[in-house]
Amino acid sequence: MLDPAGEATRAAAGRLGLAGLSRLRIGKAIDLELEADDRESAERTLADLCDRLLANPVTETWTCELEEAP
């Protein structure tokens, strides 16, 4: 999949003399709040959201960070 923003940024880094950067991808971040009974339930729900709604599994991979609210 083409990533014009990532490629342009990688090329600009080279022009700035920042060597060694062979690949740079720029993606999206999604921030959400989720209520769940426990961490395991929250992780399951979040995984389902990502797999079925938020990410296109053909062109995207995803990772998540789960933090408890203060």
37 and 58 share a domain? yes
Which pLDDT belongs to residue 2? 81
d(CA 63, CA 50): 9
pLDDT at 26 over 80: yes
The whole domain housing 57 covers: 31-70
46 and 14 share a domain? no
Which pLDDT belongs to residue 27? 85
7 and 21 share a domain? yes
What is the per-residue pLDDT across 57-68, written as a single tens digit (0 to 9) for each? 888 889 988 988
38 and 24 share a domain? no
Which pLDDT belongs to residue 10? 94
H helices of the chain, in order, are 4-15, 39-49
Q: What is the DSSP letter of 54?
A: I
Place of tokens 């003399």: 17
Could you tell me the pTM of the whole model? Answer: 0.65
What is the amino acid identity at position 27? G
15 and 41 share a domain? no
Which pLDDT belongs to residue 48? 94
What is the per-residue pLDDT across 1-12, written as a single tens digit (0 to 9) for each? 788 999 999 999
- Reduced to 3 DSSP states, what percent helix, strand and coil does the chain have, rounded to the nearest 5? 40, 0, 60
